[in-house]
Amino acid sequence: MLDSRGATASIPIEDVRLTLCADLERGVCKDAEQALCQNRLSPRRRVIAKQAILDQLLCDARVSGCWTLHPSSKQNLWDKLKHTGFPKLLTWMVVSQLLVSVLFLASWWLLGSMMLAGCRQVRTQLDDRLGTGPYYHDSAADCQSAYRRMDCTSGRHVA
């Protein structure tokens, strides 16, 4: 808050609210007290219920006698954004987007490696079953000729 000399002072927000809303609450407070006395509530619950009733009844009331100060229109855009907390929000958005992108790429890498490992395993099993592959022949040409001679329906070599 600003004092009469223009210096800033720190005051608890609840004290400010009580001072500004005292006139508004006086008119409604008697009705709230009467309603609470009829219900025989404990003192602790009575305070909570009274505050809830006042909040409900005065939610649309306008408080007068004070000024609300906004940031100067001459401030640069970055200072205004910092005042609203935009840089923190932007940082969280960028970090979360990067995390999503990394997880997306990792999932495709995992699927690709599983697919290649599965293809290698099937190829190795097929080579073992047929007696072909790089361990059974000396050159790639021998492997190709062995695959060409394979009968696709039975998986056996054809002469």
The yes-or-no verdict on residue 137 having pLDDT over 70 is no
Give the model's confidence band at 106: pLDDT under 50 very low, under 70 low, under 90 confident, else very high: very high
Distance of CA 39 to the CA centre of its chain: 44
Q: How far apart are CA 159 and CA 157, in angstroms?
A: 6
On whether the CB atoms of residues 71 and 80 are closer than 8 A, the answer is yes
Give the model's confidence band at 143: pLDDT under 50 very low, under 70 low, under 90 confident, else very high: low
Neighbours of 136 (CB within 10 A): 13
pLDDT, mean of residues 84-113: 93
Helices (H), the chain: 13-38, 43-57, 77-84, 86-130, 140-148
- The domain locations on the chain are 1-69, 74-159
Q: What single DSSP character describes residue 138?
A: S
pLDDT, mean of residues 56-84: 77
Write down the mean pLDDT value for the chain: 76
The yes-or-no verdict on residue 94 having pLDDT over 90 is yes
The yes-or-no verdict on residue 154 having pLDDT over 60 is no
